[in-house]
Amino acid sequence: MKTRLYSVLALTALVSIGGYAQKPIYRGRCIGVHDGDTITVLIDNRQMKVRLEGIDAPELGQDFSQRAKEHLSNLVFGHDVTIREEGVDQYGRVVGRVFIGGRDTSCEMLSAGLAWHFKKYSSSAELAQLEDSARGQRAGLWSMSNLTAPWDYRVGKRTGLKSTVKGITPTAASAGKVIHTGPRGGKYYINSKGKKTYIKKKK
């Protein structure tokens, strides 16, 4: 049986207790690592692009992007993996938890301090705790200050915004961010912790 043209080795079935359908599970070999949260898996001679669920790693070009890619590659490249599908994103990628042996790669990336918990799409208490622990230990990217979360980086890259608001002095932290106007006219952006950071005006 095939789902989305990929062989499902653990077919969707009804759980005897509770009566709800299990999510599709796939097994294959990782043949490509694109960045710190996206891989390609070969399943019965068909390629499946998989986005790791629950995390968001630095975009290519950001600080620690290469280290995140290398760490994920060391974990999964060339190995057989199990994917528990959670959904499909707007780009047609399967979004799922990827396991190698008993290790959850989303957890591994967070523990190493090489990804953010993607709270916009994940409410996992476990992933949130792992990010908090990595932050506390200043592991990986958390050793840096003035971090730009990848979702903010993507917005800035798409729009090409470089703090070009009239009267605002660009800073390294605000570059590439979406600049908002506060109720009293002040300009601010949302930092990596989700808080407002106001930008000083030119004197």
**From the CB of residue 157, how many other CB atoms can be counted at a distance below 10 Å?**
14
Q: What band does 180 get if pLDDT is binned at 50, 70 and 90?
A: low
The domain ranges of the chain are: 2-143, 150-198
Residues labelled catalytic: 51, 59, 93
Could you give the residue ranges of the DSSP H alpha helices within the chain?
65-76, 105-111, 125-137, 150-159
> Could you report the per-residue pLDDT of 20-66, keeping only the tens digit for each?
457 899 999 999 999 999 999 999 999 999 999 999 999 988 999 99
Q: What is the largest CA-CA distance in the chain?
A: 69
> Could you report the per-residue pLDDT of 122-156, keeping only the tens digit for each?
999 999 999 999 999 999 999 998 889 999 998 87
**pLDDT: which is higher, 146 or 120:** 120
How far apart CA 115 and CA 72 sit, in angstroms, is 11
How far apart CA 162 and CA 182 sit, in angstroms, is 18
* Pair 133, 113: CB distance under 8 Å: no
On the question of pLDDT at 18 being above 60, the answer is no
Task: With H, G, I as helix, E, B as strand and everything else as coil, classify residue 107.
Answer: helix
2-143 is classed CATH 2.40.50.90:
yes
> In degrees rounded to 5, what are phi and psi of residue 41?
-120, 135
Pick the closest to residue 51 from 21, 95, 12 (CA basis): 95
Pick the closest to residue 114 from 69, 176, 60 (CA basis): 69
Tell me the CA distances in angstroms from 36 to 32, 118, 119, 190, one per residue in order: 11, 13, 17, 23
pLDDT score of 163: 44
> Could you report the per-residue pLDDT of 62-88, keeping only the tens digit for each?
999 999 999 999 999 999 999 999 999
Pick the closest to residue 87 from 3, 203, 177 (CA basis): 3
pLDDT score of 175: 52
Q: What is the pTM of this model?
A: 0.70
